Amino acid sequence: MKPIERIAHDVGWFPVSFVNAYFVGHPGEPWALIDSGLPGSAQPIFEAAEARFGGGARPAAIYLTHGHFDHSGAAPQLANRWRVPIFIHEMELPYVTGRSNFPPPDPTMGGAIAFLSRFIPYRARNLGERVQELPRGELAGLPGWKWIETPGHSPGHVSFFRESDGVLLAGDAFATTNMDSWTSLITARKELGRAGAPFNFDWDATRESVEKLAQLRPNVAGCGHGIPMCDAGLPNRLERFAKMFHRPQHGRYIREAAEVDTSGVVWLPPAPFDPVPLATAGLLLLGGVALGAGYLEERLRD
């Protein structure tokens, strides 16, 4: 089992494949899980929780920064096993109760994660009856924490912040690796970057969310993707990143954002032409012709 790495005195980082989950709290006290990894991650997260908090321990709640499948994947299995609620922002509810698909990703914007987004699910999921709207005020299992609306990557994306020691759990508001780079995706090189950019349906809101988080001047930043950052230079680096934050030069949501409300997606900008599926089909066709020609040549030789 992978160890949980401490990024603050009571905050544990637990990477599951390419996405992160976070345990917040001390053994013997109320605690919470923030984000739940990919579908199929329930058992390793459950085992990690037992190793950290003791056998039979269960959180006060599961909190989701947003509903994308790589952050909400194991939530229903864990919530049912622990018999606890799943809290998520009101604007995310349509996508985790099966009522609406998320805005589709934009694979035409360029970059590594944009290419991969063609194969990443964005359809609605139903996380079950334990899903509840994220409460305002005190958060069960998260004393001293507050949630902050940071939309843009998804309609109801939130980040979690504790002012007393400057710990920020930012979900996909930004990343601590460059997801647009194939090299960084493979090596997990630590740097500030855009998180899941092809899923950003509103670039103005995404930039404003990054600026809002930079103003907090966190000492620790744990994101959904990448190795958490915990150093004295982080506040200034995040401030510079926010000032230099830029949208792609082209893509579906560059000029117009998708329109959403509490029922889900209302309107989408037209999808730009995506040449990759045609190119892939062409390569497969050429491969088939080549294989067929080879087979015919072998038959003529017989």
The span from the CA of 70 to the CA of 265, in Å, is 20
Residue 188 CB neighbour total at 10 angstroms: 14
**HEC readout, 21-89:** EEEECCCCCCCEEECCCCCCCHHHHHHHHHHHHCCCCCCCEEECCCCCHHHHCCHHHHHHHHCCCEEEC
The span from the CA of 188 to the CA of 176, in Å, is 9
Structure tokens at 261: 């409300």
The span from the CA of 35 to the CA of 200, in Å, is 19
What is the per-residue DSSP string for 132-198?
A: EEPPSS--TT-TTEEEEE--SSSTT-EEEEETTTTEEEEETSSBBS-TT-HHHHHH-----B-SSGG
Structure tokens at 156: 């109801």
Going from the C-alpha of 298 to that of each of 63, 68, 163, 278, 295, the distances in angstroms are 61, 50, 73, 30, 5
Q: What pLDDT tens digit does each residue of the chain (302 aa) get?
A: 677 899 999 999 999 999 999 999 999 999 999 999 999 999 999 999 999 999 999 999 999 999 999 999 999 999 999 999 999 999 999 999 999 999 999 999 999 999 999 999 999 999 999 999 999 999 999 999 999 999 999 999 999 999 999 999 999 999 999 999 999 999 989 999 999 999 999 999 999 999 999 999 999 999 999 999 998 999 999 999 999 999 999 999 999 999 999 999 999 999 999 988 744 434 333 344 334 444 334 444 45
pTM: 0.91
Do the bridges between strand 220-223 and strand 229-230 make them parallel or antiparallel, or are there none, so unpaired? Answer: antiparallel
Q: Which of 115, 106, 20 is nearest to 70 (CA)?
A: 20
